Structure formats: structure tokens, C-alpha cells
Amino acid sequence: EIEYRMAGLYFMLQKAEKGHFHLNNGLKLDFEYYIIIEELFPSIFARKSVKDKIKTHLNSCS
């Protein structure tokens, strides 16, 4: 859960590389908690790059 919070904070600070790093970690560790970004950081969740990364991870797990 902390990885998603870190990702959101880094994205808010305009540090996309670190944001994507923590988002990847979160998706690998606890995929089902990606909803945290949607709830706490709706503007970040709305980004195409974030949605694409979540969708790609979802498709790779299926």
C-alpha cells in the first residue's frame, strides 16, 4: 500500500520516473490496491501513463 502512496506523491512532485518506479513496485507486490491511487490521487489516476501501466500489468497477469 505504501508504494502506491509514494507513487502518487512523486507524481504530484513532478518526479515521474520515481512515481513510475513506485507504481511498478506496488503493482508487483499488491496489484489489487491500485485503487489507492484512484482514491487519494484522482488527478494522477486520470493520467494516461498511469492507466496504461495498470492496464499492461493487468493484461500480463491474465
Separation between Cα atoms, residue 12 and residue 32, nearest integer Å: 22
pLDDT of residue 14: 97
pLDDT for 61 equals 80
Tens of pLDDT, residue by residue, the chain (62 residues)? 999 999 999 999 999 999 999 999 999 999 999 999 999 999 999 999 999 999 999 998 86
Q: Work out how many domains the chain is built from and give that number.
A: 1
Q: Give the domain range for residue 15.
A: 2-61
Distances (CA, A) of 57 to 13, 14, 47: 24, 23, 16
pTM as predicted: 0.91
